[in-house]
Amino acid sequence: MNKPEITSQLANIVGEEYVSDDLADLIPYERDDQFPFVPPHRPDYVVRPRTIEEIQKILRLANDHKIPVVPFASGINRKGLCIASKGGILLDMRRMTRIEIDEEMMIATIEPGVNFAQLVVALNDYPHLRCLTPDAPATASVLANYMLRGIYATSTRYGIDHLLTMKIILPNGEILDTGSAATPNTIGPYCNIVNGPDLTKLFQANVGTMGVAVEGRIRLYPMPEKIRFLLISFPSFESMLEPAKQYTIQNLVAGVWIWTFTEDALKTIMQLKSATPEWFALGLFLEGTSTEVHDQEDQVLAIAAEAKGEVLKIPPDFENEFVLDHRYMRGDVRGWRKGNLYGCSCYGTFKNLVAYYKAGKKLCEKYGFEGYHFEALPVSPFHGQLTYIDPCILWDGGDPAQVTKIRAFHQELRAALLDIGIYGFFRPFPGVVNSQELGMYGEIWRKIKQLIDPNNIMNPGKPPLD
Ligand SMILES: Cc1cc2nc3c(=O)[nH]c(=O)nc-3n(C[C@H](O)[C@H](O)[C@H](O)COP(=O)(O)OP(=O)(O)OC[C@H]3O[C@@H](n4cnc5c(N)ncnc54)[C@H](O)[C@@H]3O)c2cc1C
């Protein structure tokens, strides 16, 4: 079938209004912030389905004609994950915005087009419930973020796994319900306890390479009565680590951000001034009843004082902004007022934090990048000292010399982090995750991919078959 015939078949499925092969419609999807690592590439068609049946038909058509399909929930990932590296159909699911809240089960069922703003608004009718939100723009897809296991200001207490079960359309158009939906006479598709392995996990941290998730059931949590944000500065990177560890182990905070900023990064990202060239601070989120928060604060301050921590007086507006971000969604994207943001985010161990921090700093100096900042967040459950690590720099994507430099910087930083030892990378994008380096795990991952998607139509060019 030629291109106009495919366009016409797609129009038969979703309606003419929701298909395009027009250049003007395709160009916005062809590149993102990660262009030095995932080169821009234009899809051949943009399709905007509304129903599960439409997605089944699209995948059958694509599978029959071996046309690549790239799922797109909100395209905010910034890691090249929605770039149609081999062309094909860009499946933009932003019309799929159904939300059902089951108050008794403390679960929401959502479609992939539901973003954090929409879910938060829907939850306004249930003031005692909340969803956990990332530091991402409010337009980010909840399902895509949870599938990729996002990182949240509350992850020190609540972890990163808030997705229970999913409805997946496989590349051949078949429907797979993961979790308890498969149990005969099931009481509901709400639970990931099932008779065998938890297949939800098989589709998590896979970047649209196994099928299309058309529905997910996510955990909702009680809304705390009070949230308090504290910023405590310390004399050095090392001096804030023991307090951060104690806050985590003693469960004194919902989140403890370990931050270092250069003067430049502090000004750009936090809109704060520093008297020193490098600034070390813990950003703490305390939550609970008013009494609990009061008690937590006393204990937090006593531990900080022992390490020469100094509580920073922050304007009430600033605290409110942080609390709002944390409780609901990010209203403003700090850090994006200057050029591009690069981060080699990964999971590692708390005890190696100094080594990760220094490795990033040394390379930043070697390559002459300004605005190094390092973020880390202990993650629940803390066994194995699970910690999110993010060495970041601000750079200028408009300068070709910096594009070349950032590629070399990335390779060296990736190697340095692997040398120190990490658990895994945060976002599995090409250039970071290489399944060939993963031994038998990588081999089985590729075999499962081949079993589910023998024609490799789902987001080709991304791990495990990049
Ligand atoms: C400034 C900024 C700050 C951010 N901070 C954070 C943060 O602190 N914590 C955090 O967790 N996130 C953060 N993010 C957002 C985060 O990167 C995205 O939410 C996440 O990567 C998912 O992106 P998305 O929702 O737009 O999904 P997309 O970009 O649309 O998709 C991501 C991947 O999932 C696949 N996919 C999408 N939908 C489906 C589906 N239905 N079925 C199968 N595959 C699918 C896509 O093909 C793609 O490979 C931030 C983003 C920005 C821009």
Ligand 1 centroid–CA 427 distance in Å is 9
Q: Residues with Cβ < 8 Å from 357, sequence gap 6 or more? A: 237, 260, 374, 376, 391
Ligand 1 centroid–CA 143 distance in Å is 9
CA–CA separation, 365 vs 322, rounded Å? 31
Which pLDDT score is estimated for 428? 78
Ligand 1 centroid–CA 136 distance in Å is 9
Asked if 106 contacts 220 with a C-beta cutoff of 8 angstroms, the reply is yes
Ligand 1 centroid–CA 4 distance in Å is 31
Which residue blocks in 371-436 are alpha helix, DSSP H? 400-420
As a residue count, the chain comes to 466
Sheet holding 163-169, edge to edge: 99-102, 107-110, 212-219, 163-169, 175-177
CA–CA separation, 183 vs 214, rounded Å? 20
Q: Is 460 in the pocket of ligand 1 (CB under 6 A)?
A: no
Ligand 1 centroid–CA 186 distance in Å is 31
Write the residue with the smallest CA distance to atom 15 of ligand 1.
Answer: 136
Q: In this structure, how many other beta carbons lie within 10 angstroms of the beta carbon of residue 351? A: 12
The alpha carbon of 328 is separated from its chain's Cα centroid by a whole number of angstroms, namely: 16
Q: Is 213 in the pocket of ligand 1 (CB under 6 A)?
A: yes
Q: Minimal CA–CA distance to 332: which of 377, 396, 270?
A: 270
Q: What is the pTM of this model?
A: 0.95
Q: Is 96 in the pocket of ligand 1 (CB under 6 A)?
A: no
Cis preceding-peptide flag for 381 (omega within 30 of 0): yes
One fold for 99-222 and 226-425: no
Write the residue with the smallest CA distance to atom 33 of ligand 1.
Answer: 207
User: Helix-strand-coil percent breakdown of the chain, rounded to 5?
Assistant: 35, 25, 40
**Three-state SS at 8:** helix
Which residue blocks in 371-399 are alpha helix, DSSP H? none
Q: Is 379 in the pocket of ligand 1 (CB under 6 A)?
A: no
Ligand 1 centroid–CA 366 distance in Å is 31
Ligand 1 centroid–CA 457 distance in Å is 20
Q: Is the dihedral of CA 125, 126, 131, 133 positive or negative?
A: positive
Asked if 53 contacts 34 with a C-beta cutoff of 8 angstroms, the reply is no
Ligand 1 centroid–CA 139 distance in Å is 10
Q: List Cβ<8 Å contacts ≥24 apart for 418-425.
A: 420/348, 420/352, 420/355, 420/356, 420/359, 421/348, 421/349, 421/352, 422/346, 422/347, 422/348, 422/389, 423/346, 423/347, 423/348, 423/349, 423/384, 423/386, 424/346, 424/347, 425/344, 425/345, 425/346, 425/347
Give 99-222's CATH code, choosing from 3.40.50.970, 3.20.20.70, 3.40.50.720, 3.30.465.10. 3.30.465.10
Q: Is 135 in the pocket of ligand 1 (CB under 6 A)?
A: yes
Q: In this structure, how many other beta carbons lie within 10 angstroms of the beta carbon of residue 194? A: 18
Ligand 1 centroid–CA 27 distance in Å is 20
CA–CA separation, 313 vs 295, rounded Å? 20
Q: Is 150 in the pocket of ligand 1 (CB under 6 A)?
A: yes
DSSP state letter for 252: -
Q: List Cβ<8 Å contacts ≥24 apart for 315-318.
A: none
| Segment (H or E) for 328 | none
Q: Is 144 in the pocket of ligand 1 (CB under 6 A)?
A: yes
282 Rama class: left (phi>0) / alpha (psi -120 to 50) / beta: beta
CATH class of 226-425: alpha beta
pLDDT by 10-residue block (mean), the chain, 466 residues = 95 98 97 88 98 98 98 91 97 98 96 95 94 89 95 94 96 96 81 89 94 97 92 94 98 96 69 75 95 97 97 76 62 55 93 98 92 92 97 88 94 96 88 91 97 97 88
Q: Minimal CA–CA distance to 299: which of 343, 339, 249, 348?
A: 249
Ligand 1 centroid–CA 195 distance in Å is 31
CA–CA separation, 173 vs 426, rounded Å? 30
Give me the CATH code for the 3-92 domain, please. 3.30.43.10
Q: Is 332 in the pocket of ligand 1 (CB under 6 A)?
A: no
Asked if 347 contacts 422 with a C-beta cutoff of 8 angstroms, the reply is yes
**93 CA: nearest ligand 1 atom:** 41
Q: Tens of pLDDT along 145-187?
A: 999 999 998 999 999 999 999 999 999 999 999 999 888 877 8
Domain ranges of the chain: 3-92, 99-222, 226-425
Q: Which one of 72, 146, 328, 347 would you pick to mutate in the ligand 1 pocket, going by the greatest count of ligand atoms within 8 A of its CB?
A: 72
Q: Is 212 in the pocket of ligand 1 (CB under 6 A)?
A: yes
Report the chain's terminal Cα–Cα distance, integer Å.
Answer: 26
Using CA atoms, how far residue 410 sits from 36, 239, 252, 363, 431, in Å, is 10, 28, 36, 9, 9
Asked if 21 contacts 11 with a C-beta cutoff of 8 angstroms, the reply is no
Q: Which one of 29, 46, 77 would you pick to mutate in the ligand 1 pocket, going by the greatest count of ligand atoms within 8 A of its CB?
A: 77
At 99, which amino acid appears?
I
